[in-house]
Structure 1
Amino acid sequence: MNAPNRYEIYVLEDGEKPVEVVEDSKIPNAATIKILKQDHTLGNMLRAQLLSMPQILFAGYKVPHPLHPYFLIKIQTDGTITPQELLEQACTKLIGTMSSLETKFKREFSYKDVEGAVGGVTGHLDDPYGGTGTSGGAWSTGKDYLDL
């Protein structure tokens, strides 16, 4: 009812900047960065990536209100690099990680296709939880339920 149209949550308006940086005058080497048209998905990944970097002292994010499509991320560094540069490095590393994950995901599913064409494990009716079952169903390949 009060929710905005779906496209308004993700599509930038003409002239709308996707990132706004506000330097923090009370905390040294800190900034609050507003990232528009994004939500918890990107905010949490960026926060986690930033916290894994050695130059970071603090990284946290919040979504002020669920109906407003932006989040604020607060970054404090040790002074060897600016918060903006560190965020840029974190984004680059995150893009690389997502690309690697996509490659691994596609590779695993290509193995699944090859395995399915050959027949996989046949004649083996293992229960997905370790026991032996009498009905094959979806689990007749003998794989654990966590296997792709």
Structure 2
Amino acid sequence: MNAPNRYELFVLDEGEKLVEITEDTKIPNATTFKIVKEDHTLGNLLRAELLKDSRCLFAGYKVPHPLHPYFLLKVQSDGSVTASKLVTDACQSLLEKLASVEAKFKREFTFMDVDGPAKDVGPYGTVDPAQWEGGKDYLDL
């Protein structure tokens, strides 16, 4: 088959760098980042986070080929900061958001351990048939 081994898609080889930075010579204040062993998930997150920053004029990414495990991220700043600084700030912001999500996730599971599992969980959350007329769920016909 043409597809590489699965582990080659996320394990760095000996001496391989995670990020390669290339300054753009045609566009002012623009840089291209080649991020190795990552895919659309991180590319789209970084692009979206970069576009929230008012100092960023352009942010876009592409995966040149699905069998090659890297993506190219192009960033252009307004000149007040470097594109590398924008990417660093975006990564820091994403890490803070992920830490917040993790804390909320863990908190919800600690509440579940205290309260115990729900008795009757249907497709629309906890269902108490006694609250409906005749003991039927509102979806029972």
TM-score of the two chains, using structure 1 as the length reference: 0.80
Select 1:132's aligned residue among 127, 132, 138. Answer: 138
For 2:24, the equivalent position in structure 1 comes to 24
What SS does the corresponding residue of 2:57 show, helix, strand or coil?
strand
The offset of 1:109, in angstroms, is 2.1
1:106-125 equivalences in 2 (<5 Å) = 106-116=106-116, 124-125=128-129
For 1:145, the equivalent position in structure 2 comes to none
Q: Percent identity?
A: 57
The offset of 1:133, in angstroms, is 5.1
For 2:85, the equivalent position in structure 1 comes to 85
The offset of 1:107, in angstroms, is 1.1
CA distance in 1: counterparts of 2:21 and 2:118, whole angstroms: 55
Which runs of 5 or more structure 2 residues have no equivalent in the other structure?
none
What SS does the corresponding residue of 1:75 show, helix, strand or coil?
strand
Q: Cα deviation per residue 1:63-94 (whole Å; 9 max; x = unaligned)?
A: 00000000000000000000011111111111
Which runs of 5 or more structure 1 residues have no equivalent in the other structure?
135-148
Aligned residues: 131
**What is the RMSD of the two structures over their aligned residues, measured on CA atoms?**
2.4
The offset of 1:113, in angstroms, is 2.7
CA distance in 2: counterparts of 1:40 and 1:84, whole angstroms: 20
What letter corresponds to residue 115 of structure 1 in structure 2? D
Q: 1:31 to 1:116 in 2, by over 3 A?
A: same
Q: Cα deviation per residue 1:87-108 (whole Å; 9 max; x = unaligned)?
A: 1111111111111111111112
For 2:33, the equivalent position in structure 1 comes to 33
Matched, 1:11 2:11: yes
Q: Cα deviation per residue 1:33-71 (whole Å; 9 max; x = unaligned)?
A: 100000011101111110111110000000000000000
Residues 120 and 127, structure 2, Cα contact 8 Å, conserved in 1: no
TM-score of the two chains, using structure 2 as the length reference: 0.83
CA distance in 2: counterparts of 1:71 and 1:90, whole angstroms: 17
CA distance in 2: counterparts of 1:98 and 1:16, whole angstroms: 27
Q: 1:120 to 1:113 in 2, by over 3 A?
A: farther
